[in-house]
Amino acid sequence: MTTHPAEDNSPAFAPDGNRIIFVSHRSDAKGDLYLLDLTQPRGEEEASRLVRLTEGTLPESDPAWSPDQKFVYFTSVHPETRQQTLYKLDLESKTKSILATGDGGLDP
């Protein structure tokens, strides 16, 4: 789906099939979330089809869509407690909120 040489993984298709959220290591070794718009022609410049959703030094993983496609849920490490944390990302405002934090694993 992308032409960048970095590792891309954990794809999650939007319920309508028009977008994919995935983890990419193109910006750092930990991995950030990206959104790929599949409605744009494949020949278009990749930068016009791709949006970086998260930035930072902590790994984001396990993206999942809300049924209404307004939010993405994902896991990461809390920056202060270093505990596994479940986040909700608002795709319009790009703000994220914590839904759960705890020891062990969390998976949206």
Q: What is the mean pLDDT of residues 8-19?
A: 94
- Domain-located, residue 93: yes
* 32-63 pLDDT per residue, tens: 999 999 987 766 566 678 899 998 888 899 99
- Domain-located, residue 3: no
Phi, psi of 46 (to 5 degrees): -55, -35
Q: How many domains does the chain have?
A: 1
- Domain-located, residue 1: no
Q: Which residues in 21-59 are b (16+ Cβ under 10 Å) and which e? A: bbbbeeeeeebbbbbbeeeeeeeeeeeebbeebbeeebb
Alpha helices, DSSP H only, in the chain? 46-49
- Domain-located, residue 67: yes
- Domain-located, residue 107: no
- Provide the 10 A C-beta neighbour count for residue 10: 16
- Domain-located, residue 2: no
* 66-91 pLDDT per residue, tens: 999 999 999 998 878 878 899 999 99
For residue 43, what are the CA distances in angstroms to 38, 40, 58? 11, 8, 32
Name which residue leads in pLDDT, 72 or 103.
72
Q: Is 46 helix (H, G, I), strand (E, B) or coil?
A: helix
**Global confidence as pTM:** 0.83
Domain range enclosing 85: 8-102
Q: In this predicted structure, what is the pLDDT of residue 55?
A: 87
Name which residue leads in pLDDT, 64 or 2.
64
- Domain-located, residue 13: yes
CATH at residue 61: 2.120.10.30
> Is the per-residue pLDDT at 20 higher than 70?
yes
Phi, psi of 27 (to 5 degrees): -100, -30
- Domain-located, residue 56: yes
Q: In this predicted structure, what is the pLDDT of residue 23?
A: 94
